[in-house]
Amino acid sequence: MSSFVDECGINVCAGDGGAGVVSFRREAHVSRGGPDGGDGGDGGNIWIEADHNVASLLAFRDHPHRRAKNGTHGSGAKRHGKSSEELIIKVPEGTTIYELEGDQVLADLSQDGDRWLAARGGRGGRGNARFLSNKRRAPTFAEQGEEGEEKWLRMELRLLADVALVGFPNSGKSTFISKISAAKPRIADYPFTTLEPNLGVVQTPGVPEFTVADIPGLIEGASQGKGLGHQFLRHIERASILLILLDLSQTSEFSPERQKEVLENELSSYRPELLSRPRLVVGSRSDMSLEDSKFDGQEISSITGVGVKEVLYEIAGLIEEVRSNKPVNPTRILHQPEPEGIKVERVGDTQWEIMDRELIRIANLNDLSNPDALVYLQDRFKNMGVDRALIRAKVKKGEIVKIGKLEFEYDDDE
């Protein structure tokens, strides 16, 4: 069974907020105790964070659900509920997060420490002590806890490597990476030996340490999905340098020149900018080359070791050049953008819906069966500009307006 997973779905469910409580002081010798209901605690947020110690998305293949804990409820004597801790989900560097359906990129966690707020925890409801005012001396309502966000996401991993080995199946890539690093890929004399990417670290005296990714062999038409297709082409995207291996043991019908032409065409068809990156073109399996094979360039044999060290030094020179010109990117914390302003949308011939996170939260947290709570809602909405937004949207008297769980008939005389 494969131990490398580079694409998966994940379900994130942030914690719910705890409920506020309705409570009044009951003390001896105090004739008229006031409200003392405490607030509920906040539910836990869920963050997704890149970690260089995580190698693949295997942990999510069979267990895609991740849930943060809920906040606890408030209690009397103004005792507030406990907020839940945040849940941090570790993923490999190079993980890109998308909406489950579609190609909308939500976050690109390219380096260790990059993190993204995947789901917001619900805020705790306020206890009735929060609603004490000159108008309300004995508030009989409190807020419920807000539900935490829940969503399905899609994650894709693009390996972060200094060098990507590109070549046709059985062109010597696996043998090469096994010779220059501690990686132990499967090696056999048949196509598609490598069915998952292998990442090796090269440590050679006098050469800066660098990583090499052995990308499963491409075939003609891979950019259109043939063979292993897009499944592994994406792992080439983040490599700084391309090392193209041409098999010198092939017949003249599939000469090194023809191999190079096809490989570069597939790379260009998939991502044209790939051909603008530094690259080395090397003839591999020189120990098995045919007598009529013609190749004008560096040749190597991973079996005998001929030419391998020279290629490593060439790669090291390119890597030093790339690294010296690469800007240092600070660790990033990515937040979901908050929509601005009250948005009123028509959802039917005579129905409207207000899209505003804070207004929806206020409506959902309050007890809509409590008359005092409804009066409070009406005042809050007016002060927050709901009436003005409905007038701008040209909502007519008698039409239905929905805010979260609350529905009401609009009356422009109010």
Angle CA 167–240–227, to nearest 5: 30
CB-CB contact of 4 with 159 (8 Å): no
Q: Going by C-beta distance under 8 Å and a sequence separation of 6 or more, which residues neighbour residue 19?
A: 40, 73, 74, 81, 124, 125, 142, 143, 144, 145
Helix axes 357-365, 371-383, angle to 10 degrees: 170
Closest CA to 312 of 177, 183, 187, 184: 177
Q: What is the pLDDT of residue 190?
A: 41
Q: 163-325 sits in which CATH class?
A: alpha beta
Q: What is the pLDDT of residue 66?
A: 96
Helix axes 308-325, 173-180, angle to 10 degrees: 80
Q: What is the DSSP letter of 220?
A: T
Q: Going by C-beta distance under 8 Å and a sequence separation of 6 or more, which residues neighbour residue 398?
A: 350, 409, 410, 411
CB-CB contact of 33 with 26 (8 Å): yes
Closest CA to 327 of 110, 4, 97: 110
Q: What is the pLDDT of residue 295?
A: 80
CB-CB contact of 402 with 354 (8 Å): yes
Instruction: List every span in the chain annotated with CATH 3.40.50.300.
Output: 163-325
Q: What is the pLDDT of residue 137?
A: 84
CB-CB contact of 83 with 41 (8 Å): yes
SS3 category, 69: coil
Q: What is the DSSP letter of 254?
A: G
Q: Going by C-beta distance under 8 Å and a sequence separation of 6 or more, which residues neighbour residue 269?
A: 223, 224
Instruction: List every span in the chain annotated with CATH 2.70.210.12.
Output: 1-157
Phi, psi of 406, deg, nearest 5: -90, 130
pLDDT in tens, the chain (414 residues): 344 567 899 999 999 999 999 999 877 665 567 899 999 999 999 999 998 888 778 889 889 999 999 999 999 999 999 999 999 999 988 899 999 888 889 999 988 899 999 999 999 999 999 998 888 888 999 999 999 999 999 998 877 788 988 888 877 888 888 888 765 544 444 444 445 667 777 877 777 778 888 877 565 654 454 444 445 677 788 788 999 999 888 777 788 888 899 888 888 888 888 889 999 999 988 888 766 667 888 899 888 889 998 998 899 889 888 888 876 666 677 666 665 678 888 988 889 999 888 888 888 888 888 888 888 888 888 888 888 888 888 888 889 999 988 888 888 654
Q: Going by C-beta distance under 8 Å and a sequence separation of 6 or more, which residues neighbour residue 164?
A: 212, 213, 215, 235, 236, 239, 241, 242, 243
- Residues 186-204 as b/e (b if ≥16 CB within 10 A, e otherwise) read eeeeeeebbebbbbbebeb
Residue 200's DSSP bridge partners are 212
Please state which architecture CATH assigns to domain 1-157: Distorted Sandwich (2.70)
| Per CATH, domain 343-409 is 2.40.440.10 | no
- Which residue matches tokens 């560096």? 298
